[in-house]
Amino acid sequence: MPSLRLLSLSVCVAAALIAGCKQETPAPAADANANGAAATVAANADWQPAIDAFVAGYFERYPTAAANAGKHEYDGKLPDWSPQGLAATGTWLKEQRAKIAGFGDDKLDAQQRFQREYALSVIDGQLFYLEDSGFPNKNPAFYAGDLSPSMYLTRPYAPLPQRMNAFVAYQEALPKAAEQIRANLKGPLPASYIEFGNIVFGGLAQFFKDDAPKAFAEVPDTALQARFKASNAKAIEAMQGLSDWLSAQKPQATQDYAIGAERFAKMLKATERVELPLDQLKAIGEADLARNLAALKAACDQYAPGQALGACIEKVNADKPQGGAVQGARDQLVGLRKFLVDKDLVSIPGTEEARVEEAPPFNRTNFAYIEIPGPYEKNLPSVYYIAPPDPSWPKAEQDAYVPGKADLLFTSAHEVWPGHFLQSLHANRSQWTFAQLFVGYAYAEGWAHYTEEMMFDAGVDGATPEIHIGQLSNALLRDVRFLSAIGLHTGGMTVAQSEQMFKDKAFQDPGNARQQAARGTYDPGYLNYTLGKLMIMQLREDWTASRGGRSAWKAFHDQFLSYGGPPVPLVRAQMMGGPAETRLWQAPAAPASAAADAAPAPAPGTESGGG
């Protein structure tokens, strides 16, 4: 579970697109990282070869990431998850860290010093999840991303027979991988980890049984089909066996999911370069939740006077997109892109577009995600996938699953214009390949979430109360994730308390509330949506204050996006010319009446059902 992810298929993170006109990653406005060294130090010719060697070594140890980036010589390979393999990777990362840190300030120019801190943050994030988190021995999510076969099925990077050959190699590698995962996981395991593992491993087994044969049925190569059949049977057995083993752990399941305050703080520092006391972070999150709840009440007072907030949101969600969610999103992308151009909010490099399609059967656990080919791919489409409701559900549940137009609008903004897809277009124009490859959790999700509120503030779709409610629904979900991550891992919050908060403060239905609360136990980093957004909002306010305020938004957005995807505090140092400090935007205090209406849920343990 890396904190800095290679740009590849992800439910949460975007990818870099086709390389086009290159734009050099800008040097800092002031020499923020020199620590007194002369800003005129010449570029070190040894620096880039050291980074190239790191990337090459990284691909060897994380072959799935390499293949997703477009290095298809790594197709079908999986990481070595044996204890010896994991230990060797940890040793290599520490050696690389020492080598890169050894380039002192007096040996690098200003831009290289920034690049050094960017590279060190990638290594520190990998080391945290590998060694400090304890996840290799407890958390199936550590392995889940590398097991996804989506690239071979949905990305047309090669003719189908070639992709089938890669898929067969992947299936052939699965039994060994499953054996390693099984040996690494040490019980007793948290109940939510077991459930997640069952969804992933059992879901893969079902996919291999039901869907994979159909995907390659038309390939006429009989020898390849025979290999497929043999490897498919073993892959089903391996994944089902892993799922069955996890199921057998349920009687001993625990609620011991918290990584603890010390490790949580270390995670934030290692992965995002965020250093703030956890009580201060929690207070900022509570204030943002209160801000958004107060805004929701004001919008609902206009849109549905006299109705409770939940009923108001239901009314908004009843206004469905014409033709369904896929067609609705297609229409929305046209309007969103035009709005960006008409309002001149951010540059759109290139002419690439994202298609909208129905999600394939094997990847419908999330309503929406975007697949963007890696930076080494050429001329491949990006696809914004939307999952249909399960046809086995009752008609009422199927209808409820399709979001309202206002909610869908901000999902489309988050995924495409001007969220993940646009961010990838900018990242891929970086002259530094490293910045195309590595994009941080808080940078990517923070940017995508930031754009939702930015688009509303800029007047998208008339910024009506209905549109505002759609934006706020997404913001409240991320606020509760932020508070749940802190509460579950550092404050004694139970899963039930988190689930109740998602119902009461984010107005989630019971199924989504359960899913969101469970995710917080195995993905403590999901606070990064709001964390990244609030850091970007504060940076925008500080940077534009001396550059014309709102009229400088486009310049701010373009410069922010030019860095690739480092921790936001490093971007702050580049843009503001000061230290790489953590500053989060905070709204002015709400009026007393609004604050009372919008008070966050009680702290865990203070009230039955609170949190």
What single string gives the DSSP state of each residue in 58-75? HHHH-HHHHHHHT-GGGT
Q: What is the pLDDT of residues 7-47, one digit of tens each?
A: 322 333 222 222 223 333 344 343 333 333 444 578 899 99
202 shares a domain with 93: yes
Total domains in the fold of the chain: 2
Contact at 8 Å (CB) between 583 and 276? no
pLDDT of residue 323: 93
- Judged against a pLDDT cut of 90, whether residue 592 lies above it is answered with no
**Over 90: is that where the pLDDT of 100 sits?**
yes
What are the residues whose beta carbons fall under 8 Å from the beta carbon of 463, sequence distance 6 or more? 456, 457
User: Does 611 fall in a domain?
Assistant: no
CB 16 within 8 A of CB 372: yes
Q: Of 398, 390, 396, 405, whose CA–CA distance to 315 is shortest?
A: 405
Beta strands (DSSP E) in 166-254 are none
Neighbours of 294 (CB within 10 A): 21
Q: How confident is the model at residue 309 (pLDDT cuts 50, 70, 90)?
A: very high
Helix (H) and strand (E) counts in the chain:
27, 5
Rg (CA), the chain: 24
User: Does some domain include residue 424?
Assistant: no
pLDDT for 590: 52
Rounded CA separation 471/489 (Å) = 28
Both structure tokens of 258: 């918290």
Band the pLDDT of 407: cuts 50, 70, 90.
Answer: very high
What DSSP state is assigned to residue 563? T
Do 238 and 209 touch, CB atoms closer than 8 A?
A: no
Tokens representing 589 are 């205090």
Q: Evaluate whether residue 367 is within a structural domain.
A: no
Structure tokens belonging to residue 281: 């972070």
Q: How far is CA 533 from the centre of its chain?
A: 13
pLDDT, average across residues 344-353: 94
State phi, psi for 248 to the nearest 5 degrees.
Answer: -70, -15
Residue range of the domain that includes 466: 263-336+403-411+433-597
- Range 136-161 burial, b when 16+ CB lie within 10 A, else e: bebbbbbbbbbbbbbbbbbbebeeee
Mean pLDDT over residues 222-244, rounded?
A: 98
Place of tokens 């020499």: 31
Q: Which two tokens stand for residue 183?
A: 């040996």
Question: Of 252, 286, 308, at which residue does a domain stop?
Answer: 252
Instruction: Check whether the bond before 49 is cis (ω within 30° of 0).
Output: no
Q: Which of 205, 221, 252 is the last residue of a domain?
A: 252
- Phi and psi at 27, nearest 5°, equal -75, 160
Q: 204 and 290 share a domain? A: no
33 in a domain, yes or no? no
Within-domain flag for 540:
yes
| Contact present, 610 and 602 (Cβ < 8 Å) | yes
- Per-residue pLDDT band for 169 (boundaries 50, 70, 90) equals very high
Q: Please give the structure tokens belonging to residue 603.
A: 């702290």
Residue 588: pLDDT band by 50, 70, 90 thresholds? confident
pLDDT, tens digit, 9 for 90 and up, residues 372-393:
999 999 889 999 999 998 888 8
Same domain, 206 and 325: no
Do residues 519 and 570 share a domain? yes
Average pLDDT over residues 53-64: 98
**Rounded Cα–Cα distance for residues 31 and 291 (Å):** 36
Residue of higher predicted confidence among 147 and 13: 147
Give residue 599's pLDDT band: very low, low, confident or very high (50, 70, 90).
Answer: very low
Alpha helices in 428-464 (DSSP H): 433-437, 441-457
Phi, psi of 479 (to 5 degrees): -65, -40
Give the global pTM: 0.91
Q: Indicate whether 247 and 288 sit together in one domain.
A: no
| The residue type at 394 | P
pLDDT for the residue 389: 87
If asked whether residues 211 and 242 sit together in one domain, one would say: yes
Q: What does the alpha-carbon distance between residue 286 and residue 580 come to, in Å, rounded to a whole number?
A: 25
Query: Which are the contacts of 62, defined by CB distance < 8 A and separation ≥ 6?
Result: 2, 6, 79, 146
Q: Looking at the structure, do residues 49 and 145 belong to the same domain, yes or no? A: yes
**CB–CB of 535/582 below 8 Å?**
yes
Closest by CA position to 369, among listed 384, 353, 352, 354: 384
**pLDDT per residue over 521-558, tens digit each?**
999 999 999 999 999 999 999 999 999 999 999 999 99
In a domain, 94, yes or no: yes
Distance between CA 439 and CA 441 in Å, rounded?
7
Say how many residues make up the chain: 611
Is 246 found in the same domain as 143? Answer: yes
Percentage of the chain lying above the pLDDT 90 cut: 82
Given a contact cutoff of 8 angstroms between Cβ atoms, the answer to whether 575 and 539 are in contact is yes
State the distance between the two ends of the chain, measured CA to CA, in whole angstroms. 27
Both 285 and 234 in a single domain? no
Indicate the SS3 state at residue 163. helix
Flag whether pLDDT at 185 surpasses 50. Answer: yes
Please tell me the distance from the alpha carbon of residue 135 to that of residue 1, in angstroms, as a whole number.
Answer: 8
DSSP state of 94: H
pLDDT tens-place string over residues 422-433: 999 999 989 999
Residue 30 in any domain: the answer is: no
Q: How far apart are CA 196 and CA 182, in angstroms?
A: 15
**Boundary-marking domain end, from 232, 252, 272:** 252
Tell me, yes or no, whether 248 and 280 share the same domain.
Answer: no
Does residue 267 share a domain with residue 246? Answer: no
The verdict on residue 314 lying in a domain is yes
Q: Would you state the structure tokens that stand for residue 356, as one six-digit string?
A: 């909208």
Average pLDDT, the chain: 90
- Is residue 589 within 8 Å of residue 595, measured between CB atoms? yes
Mean pLDDT of 457-476: 98
Q: Is the pLDDT of residue 6 over 70?
A: no
> Which residues, in sequence order, are bridge partners of residue 383?
355, 371
Does 505 share its domain with 549? Answer: yes
